[in-house]
Copies of this chain bind each other. A is one copy, B any other.
Amino acid sequence: MSQGEQVGPLDEAVGYVLKRAATALRTAMDAALRPLDLTVPQYSCLEVLSQQPGLSNAELARAVFVTRQSMNLVLRGLQDRGLITRPATAPHGRALPTELTPAGRHQLKAASTAVRAVEARMLTPFTKSQQTRLLNDLLACVEALD
């Protein structure tokens, strides 16, 4: 262009590479979860639900950064497959506390190992301390943008 370097060969833009990394991870996770008939949002939902049982639809949506409507579809799919349970009537307010079924816990265990394997493959080039450094760097990026 006219005034010096603009963005560079695009491979040098942090934002570009950040998107590429996220896309590659998403693709790899999709492939790893496909044999289990789980999508990434479904797996994320199960994982959160395992760590925080009894969360409502809206709370789950906030935890996974999607809308209530989207999470509602995810939950319905999981419920139809018997991986989670929601009471037909709300015990308090309108919130329906969601819980994992034994089948859901079993499915989550398989999915969790598959996902961890993908993460481990992604982190192969790094030492343990480098991994925490990368983690902190990414967190700093998020905070700087917020």
- The reply to whether B135 and A121 form a contact with Cβ atoms under 8 Å apart is no
- The reply to whether B51 and A20 form a contact with Cβ atoms under 8 Å apart is no
Counting CB contacts under 8 A, is A42 at the interface? no
1/0 per residue, CB under 8 A from B, across A17-30: the answer is 11111111111110
- The reply to whether A14 and B122 form a contact with Cβ atoms under 8 Å apart is yes
Q: Which residues of B contact A130 (CB under 8 A)?
A: 137
- Which of B9, B12, B24, B142 is A141 in contact with, Cβ under 8 Å? B24
- The reply to whether A19 and B14 form a contact with Cβ atoms under 8 Å apart is no
Give the number of chain A interface residues (Cβ < 8 Å). Answer: 52
- Closest chain-B Cβ to A112's Cβ sits at a distance in Å of 6
Question: In whole angstroms, how far apart are the Cα atoms of A51 and B10 in the complex?
Answer: 9
- The reply to whether A23 and B138 form a contact with Cβ atoms under 8 Å apart is no
A140-B126 contact, Cβ under 8 Å, with A65-B23, A135-B12: yes
- The reply to whether A17 and B139 form a contact with Cβ atoms under 8 Å apart is yes
Residue on B with the closest CB to A124? B144
- The reply to whether B17 and A25 form a contact with Cβ atoms under 8 Å apart is no
A7-B146 contact, Cβ under 8 Å, with A65-B20, A138-B14, A138-B17: no
